[in-house]
Amino acid sequence: MVKTPNRLDAERAATLALEALAFLAAEQDVFQRFADLTGLDPASARARAGEPEFLVSVLDFLLSDEALLLDFCQGTSGDPRLVHLARHALGGR
C-alpha cells in the first residue's frame, strides 16, 4: 500500500493540475462544461496553463464532481486526497 503524503510541493501540485487539465480536455463534454463555467476556450486554457490561479480552477472543477474526480484518479492510479493536497499547495486553502 502506497502512503499518501501529507503535503505536496508547488511543482508536484502543478504537475497534477496539468494532468487534470489534460484529463478534462480529453473528454469533450466535460471540457465544454469547464469552459462554460470559466468562460475560457481551449486556446485560452492552454495560454493560462502555467498560472497557479488557473490550475486551482481546474482542481476546483475536478473536486466539485466526485464521479469525475474518481475517474481521474482511476486513470492516473492516484489517490483523491492528492488532488486536495494539490489544491491546497496551489491555492492556500
The Cα 3–Cα 78 span in angstroms is: 11
Predicted confidence at residue 3, as pLDDT, reads: 58
- In terms of phi and psi (left: phi > 0; alpha: psi -120 to 50; beta: otherwise), the region of 9 is beta
> Is residue 1 pLDDT above 60, yes or no?
no
Domain boundaries, the chain: 10-91
Predicted confidence at residue 78, as pLDDT, reads: 85
What digits encode the pLDDT tens for the residues 15-70?
999 999 999 999 999 999 999 999 998 899 999 999 999 999 999 999 999 999 99
Over residues 82-92, the mean pLDDT reads 91
Angle, helix 52-63 to helix 28-38, in steps of 10 degrees: 120
Who wins on pLDDT, 2 or 9? 9
